[in-house]
Amino acid sequence: MAASNQTTTALLTEHFRYTPLTLLDDIINTVNELVFRAVNAIEEGFGGTTAEQLGFILDTNAAKALPNDAARRDALAELKQNEIDNGIVKLESLLNATVDKDFDKFEIYTLRNILAVGHDEEDLANWVRLDHYQGVDIADAENVPTPEEVQLQRRKLNETAKLNTMLKAEEAKNAAILSQLTTLIGAEAKSQEGDGRESPFAFLNSSAQNANAQQLTQDTQYAVNQIPALRRLLDQLKDAMQTIHTRQMRLDDEDSIEGRRRRYLHNQSRRALERKGIDAEASGSASIATGRKVGRDELEGIEAVAQALAGADNGRPSGAGAKTMLREVANRFEKSLKMVLGYDANNTRHQEPHNTLAVLSELRPRSVRLQVEFGFATTSNLLHNIGQEVDNAKMVLEVIYVVRHGYRSNWSVDPSTGHYDSNIPSPTGIVADPALASYGVAQAKQLGKHLISLSPPVDKIYSSPFYRCIQTLQPFTTELSKKDPKKATINLERGVGEFYGQARFDHPSPATIEVLNEHFTNLQQDPEAIIVPSTKGESIPQLHDRVAYCLSHLIAAADVDPNGPKAILICSHAAAMIAIGRVLTGNMPDDDTAEDFNCFTASFSKFVRRGRAQENPDFSAVKGSWDPAVAENVPDVKWRGGAGVGGGWECAVNGDCSFLDGGEERGWTFAMEAQQAGKVTGASV
C-alpha cells in the first residue's frame, strides 16, 4: 500500500509540477486566512460600538462607588473590552478547531478520491505513461542512465544556460560598441544628436576622392618621409655618445693632461692643508687643530727634544753632549710641554690638551730614559701621563647590551638519529631555525621599546644568524632606522650563535645571508666569520672559549672603529648569553652549571667597562689563529680569573624583564644541559 501511494504521489507530482499536499496546504492556508479576517472584522465591529448599545450596564452598587460619570464610563468601557477579548478568543478557537477537523476529512477524501490514480485495488499508477515518456524504453535496463549521469547532465545543462546568458550579454555589449563606432564614422545618415553635424571620423568611411582622405594620405606620406632623417639623427647621437665615453676615459687616465692637472691640484691642496696644521688624510673637520695656536718657540723645543732622543736611539753619542743639549732646552721644553698638555706649574690639568698630544704620545716610550739617564722627572711624568691618556682615548667602547630572543616555536630531535622535526614550518626551511611564536612577537615589541630608550644609545648591533634572534630585533631596528638608518643594520655573527651540546651527528647550521635577505632588509655579514661553532657540537668550556674569542675581536674592532661606537647590542641565545656574562666579567665558576647570569626570553643585560683597555699579553698571538678545519680547537684569550676580555667588564643589569608584561619566563641554565647528559635536547632554547 505504501509503495502504491508513493508511486501515485510521484506520478502526480511529475504531472502537476508540484506535490498533491502542496495544493491541499494552499487551500487550508487560504481558509485559515479568511477565518482570521472574519474574526478581525467582528472584533473591529464590536470595538466601534458603545457599551450601552451592546447592552452592558454597571451594577448599582459598583456605579455608586465610582466618584463621577467619567469614571463610570471608563469602567463600563473596560467591562465591554474584557468581554469582547474573551469572546473573540473563544470564537477563534472554535473556528480553528472546526476548520482543522473538517479539513482533515477534506484532505483524506481528496487524496483518496480526487488526487489519485484509480483505486487501491486497481493500482493504475504503474500503467500510466506521461507525454514526455513517449519513446522511452524503460524495460531495457542496460541503457538506463545512472543517477550520477543524470546529475552530470543537469549540471551541463545549467552551465550551458549560464554560458548562453553570458554570450547574450556579450552580444548586447558588442552591439552597443558597434552602434557607437557606426555613429563615429558617420555610417548613419545623421549623428545621434540629430543636429545634422558631421561625425568626427566620417572621413574613414568616405571615398578615396574625399578631401579629408587625401589629407590623411598626405600626412601619412610625410611621416614616412621623415624616417630617414630620424635615422641620421640617431646615428649622430650614437657618435656623440662615443665621444662622451672617450672624454670620460681621458678624465680617468692619470697620464692624460686632465689627470696630471687633477693630480697637481690635489698635491697643492694637500700641502696647503698641511701648512695650516690640518691632517689631509682625515675626513671632515676632525683633523683641524683645536685650542690655541702653538708658538714657534714651543715647537722648536719639542723638535729639539725629539731629535736628541732620536739620536740616542740611532747610536749617536748620548753622553755629555746630549745631556748638555738637553739641559739647554729642558726648561723651554718643559714649559712648552705643560702649556701644550694643559697643565699648570703644579702639574694640575686646567684645560683640554692641544692636538700636539698625538705627536707627544710617541715620546712616551722614551720617558724612562729621560728620567733615568737625564733626571728630568717632571718631563718624564708628563709624558707618562699623556701616554695613559692616549691609551684611554683608544678605549672607545664603553657599554655592551645583551638580549635573548623572544619566545619561539618548538621542535623535537631524535637523539639516536639526529633527525629534527617540527609541526610548524620554518621560514628558512631549517627545522631547528623556527620563527617566534605570537607571544614572542609581543615580547619583541616590548623589548624594542625598552632598547630605544637606552642611554647611551645603541651604536652597533650584532646578532646570532638564527631567524628568531633577527626577528626579535626587528621592532627595535624599525624604530632606530627612523633616527639613524646606518645604526639599524644587524651584523650577523656566528660566534654568538646557538649552543647544541655534543653529538655524534651534525647539528643544524643557520640559513645563509642570501636566504635571510628574503625575509629581512637590514642584514650584513662579513665574508669571513670570526669563528664558527663545530657542527659536531661543543662542550660547555668550548662554548665559553668560543664566545670569548668572538667578543675579543668585536671589542677590538669597536675600539678602532672610526665611528667611535660607545655601546653595542648583542642578541643571542640562552647558553651564549650566560657565557657572554662570564667571559666579559672574567668570572668562571668552578661548577659551570652554577646559576650566575639570568637568561629569560627577551631578557636584557648590561655590562660596563671597568677602565683602561688592555690587551691580554697573549692576545696578539691568537688573533686570527682559529682554524675552520679544526673548528673545535678554540684559542684561549686568557679571560678567566677575573681578567675578562677587552680589559674586563662589570655586570650592571642581569637579565632584566621588568619591561615585559609577562615578566621573567622560560629561563634556562647549564644545569638543564647537565641533566640531559648524553642526550641532544635541541639547543639551549
Q: What pLDDT score does 147 carry?
A: 82
Burial of 19 (C-beta count, 10 Å sphere; 0-12/13-18/19+)? middle
Task: Tell me if 674 sits within 8 A of 684, measured CB to CB.
Answer: no
Instruction: Extract the residue ranges of the chain whose pLDDT is less than 50.
Output: 1, 189-193, 208-209, 283-292, 312-319, 322, 352-378, 380, 390, 393-394, 613-623, 678-682
Query: Grid cell 649552543 — which residue?
Result: 499
Q: Cβ(335)–Cβ(326) under 8 Å?
A: no
Would you state the torsion angle of the CA atoms of residues 623, 629, 634, 637, taken in this order, to the nearest 10 degrees? -10
Contact 335, 271 (CB under 8 A): no
Report which of 547, 570, 551, 552 is spatially closest to residue 458, judged by C-alpha positions: 570
Start-end of CATH 3.40.50.1240 domains in the chain? 390-681
Q: Determine the Cα–Cα distance for residues 132 and 136; give it in Å rounded to an integer.
A: 8
Task: Say which CATH architecture domain 390-681 belongs to.
Answer: 3-Layer(aba) Sandwich (3.40)
Residue 546 · residue 636 · CB < 8 Å: no
641-652 b/e (C-beta count within 10 Å ≥ 16 → b): eebbbbbbbebe
* pLDDT at residue 520 in the model: 94
User: Could you tell me the CA-to-CA distances from 75 to 43, 68, 372, 485, 594 in Å, in that order?
Assistant: 19, 11, 133, 88, 95
Side-chain-side CA neighbours of 29 within 13 Å: the count stands at 6
Question: Which residues neighbour 603 within 8 Å (Cβ) at sequence distance 6 or greater?
Answer: 403, 404, 577, 655, 656, 657, 664
Pairing outcome for strands 399-404 and 567-572:
parallel
Contact 633, 627 (CB under 8 A): yes
Instruction: Give 639's Cβ-side CA count (13 Å radius).
Output: 31
Q: What is the pLDDT of residue 518?
A: 92
**CA 376 – CA 413 distance, rounded (Å):** 71
Write down the pLDDT at residue 639.
92
Q: How many residues does the chain have?
A: 685
Closest CA relative to residue 493, chosen from 420, 566, 402: 402
Which tens digit of pLDDT belongs to each residue from 601-647?
999 999 999 865 444 434 343 445 777 767 777 888 889 998 999 88
What would the grid cell of residue 272 be? 696647503
Sheet holding 399-404, edge to edge: 523-524, 490-492, 460-463, 567-572, 399-404, 604-609, 649-656
DSSP 656: E
Please enumerate in sequence order all residues whose Cβ is within 8 A of that of 79, keeping only pairs 6 or more positions apart, or say none: 51, 56, 58
Cell 683597555, residue located: 613
| pLDDT for 678 | 46
Task: Give the distance from CA 625 to its chain's centroid.
Answer: 38
**Residue 253: count of CB within 10 angstroms of its CB:** 12
- What pLDDT score was predicted for residue 388? 53
Instruction: Return the exposure string of 500-520: e unless at least 16 CB atoms fall within 10 Å of the residue's CB, then b.
Output: bbbbeeebbbbbeeeebeeeb
Provide the pLDDT for residue 252: 64
CA atoms of 423 and 414, how far apart (whole Å): 15
Burial of 470: CB neighbours in 10 Å, binned 0-12, 13-18, 19+: buried
Question: CA 30, CA 32: separation in Å to the nearest integer?
Answer: 5
Could you tell me how far CA 264 lies from the centroid of its own chain? 52
DSSP E strands, 242-397 = none
pLDDT of residue 284: 47
Largest CA distance in the chain: 155
Cell of 620: 696578539
Q: Grid coordinates 707618562 are at which residue?
A: 384
C-alpha cell at 296: 714657534
**Spatial distance between the Cα atoms of 574 and 597, rounded to a whole number of angstroms:** 10
